[in-house]
Amino acid sequence: MLKETDIPLSSQQYNVVTDATLQPLEIKNAFHNFQQIKSEFDSGIAIDAYTQKLKYTDPKRAPKDDYPTPTETTVPCIIVGSGITLDKAGPLLKDWDYPIITSSSHATTLAYYGHDPEMIFVLDPKTRKAELEPVPTFYWERSDSNIVVHPGLYPELINAWPAEWGKMYFREVNPAKEFYYKTLAIAYDFITTFMFLFSSATSGQVGLAHMLGYNPLFLVGCEFGAPGLKDRFTRYFYEGGDWRAEQPPDPPKSQLVESIYGVPTYPILIHYRRALAAVWRCDMPQLIQTSNIGNFRECPYVPIEEIVECQGMGLESVYWTKDHIKEISDRLMAHGKMFAVPLARRPDGKEALRFLELDSGPDCIQKMERYLDALEQLVQKNPPEDAELIFDKAKSMDYIKRLYKEVGGAL
């Protein structure tokens, strides 16, 4: 079995596939959905994802106004991924009193376990309404669940969930694609919430939770691998008047690689893990892992049983400081040859970052130096507004070299 460190890991190779398959679909869907979404906003029943007018019946689950600091406890929230430990954690979640954010693929499973997810985050434009339908048609209407969607989704999904049930919108932003940063922004100017997306639903769920002021965030089913040669949770759906289990298929062994922890995984899951590390670095939420058998072990670990028992409260002793989160998330990204380069510091203290990837070739350092030269010229020509310029080319290059060597990279 190949090792994680032996495989090339480039965002470009994944972006090429995404651009070829998903972007055309998102463009078509965004044009098709315009009148429907505009009418929902004009009538006042659809909202921005950041707007606080959610339909929670329990006030302690309501979002907070401000972004929390890493060590600040506001409203704890569980982030659900597709890993195998969701099977163990699921039966406990009915006793969890605070929000849960899932993707659409987990929604009916959470309903089966007795906790309707407060937010169902839908990112993949290929998602069909059938993913939310294996429950009685009235089910979601009576729940406290909100669906979080963007204009690039299938019209059938946009229409299947009436805004009266709780529908929150955001826009995707990709600075490298004019359609996302310009066309969508002009057409859908009434959707002011936007999110920079990092390839996977889990990263989007974490970003959404932080935007809404939740902290700390507990990761459930976020293994990013196939421990025990199982890589996915058991999905439950409603059929013929009863709940049924859908067992995941066995992972294709020929595609498995060995992670830095010795756990089998796939290159795409390593890419997703790196993406989550990038979101962690950007927003610096307090992430707490509930699984110790997967490939995201860089944050504090607390068993799900303890988290549910204490309702996510009183765990400040395991919190990490902002500096420590920066150090660990940078190190995790470096394993995947990705590095965060600070460009500017905003008045709120947050950094504007540029994420750079180190090539695998023998001239990778020379290429990185040339890119930093170009980046220096760019920021000098277009200095940031309302922010302090902190970009330092030499300091950034030294940091990249040192960090990459520390994780075992050969320069």
Per-residue model confidence as pLDDT tens digits over 19-60: 778 889 999 999 999 999 999 999 888 888 877 545 455 556
Q: What is the pLDDT of residues 253-269, one digit of tens each?
A: 888 999 999 999 998 89
Q: What is the pLDDT of residues 366-389, one digit of tens each?
A: 889 999 999 999 998 888 888 999
CA–CA gap between residue 125 and residue 121 (Å, rounded): 12
CA–CA gap between residue 321 and residue 300 (Å, rounded): 12
User: How far, CA to CA in Å, does 88 sit from each of 128, 225, 315?
Assistant: 27, 16, 22
The angle formed by the CA atoms of residues 270, 92 and 200, to the nearest 5 degrees, is 25
User: Does the N-terminal peptide bond of residue 216 adopt cis geometry, omega within 30 degrees of 0?
Assistant: yes
- Structural contact between residues 154 and 30, judged by C-beta atoms closer than 8 angstroms: no
Residue 353: CA atoms inside 13 Å, Cβ hemisphere, count? 19
Whether 13 has a pLDDT exceeding 80, the answer reads: no
Structure tokens at 402: 């040192």
CA dihedral 131, 17, 158, 104 (to 10 degrees): 30
* Average pLDDT, integer, range 237-257: 87
Q: What is the pLDDT of residues 285-330, one digit of tens each?
A: 999 999 999 999 999 999 999 999 999 999 999 999 999 999 999 9
The angle formed by the CA atoms of residues 195, 76 and 328, to the nearest 5 degrees, is 65
- Structural contact between residues 217 and 209, judged by C-beta atoms closer than 8 angstroms: yes
Structure tokens at 26: 């998102």
CA–CA gap between residue 65 and residue 227 (Å, rounded): 39
Which pLDDT belongs to residue 108?
Answer: 93
- Mean pLDDT value across the chain: 88
C-alpha closest to that of 160 among 144, 142, 141: 141
CA dihedral 201, 209, 102, 36 (to 10 degrees): -80
User: To which residue do tokens 């993406």 refer?
Assistant: 275
3-state secondary structure of 341: strand
Whether 11 has a pLDDT exceeding 90, the answer reads: no
Specify the DSSP class assigned to residue 253: G
Q: What is the pLDDT of residues 76-97, one digit of tens each?
A: 999 999 999 999 999 999 999 9
Single pTM value for the model: 0.93
Structure tokens at 173: 């932003």
Structure tokens at 188: 């859908």
3-state secondary structure of 195: strand
Phi-psi map region of 68: left, alpha, beta (phi>0 left; psi -120 to 50 alpha):
beta
The angle formed by the CA atoms of residues 60, 66 and 67, to the nearest 5 degrees, is 105
**pLDDT more than 90, % of the chain:** 59
* Average pLDDT, integer, range 270-279: 93
Kind and range of the H or E run holding 268: helix 267-283
Query: What phi and psi, each to the nearest 5 degrees, are found at residue 37?
Result: -70, -40
Q: What is the pLDDT of residues 319-371, one digit of tens each?
A: 999 999 999 999 999 988 899 999 999 888 889 999 998 877 778 888 899 99
CA–CA gap between residue 145 and residue 110 (Å, rounded): 11
* Average pLDDT, integer, range 176-204: 89
CB atoms within 10 A of CB 403: 18
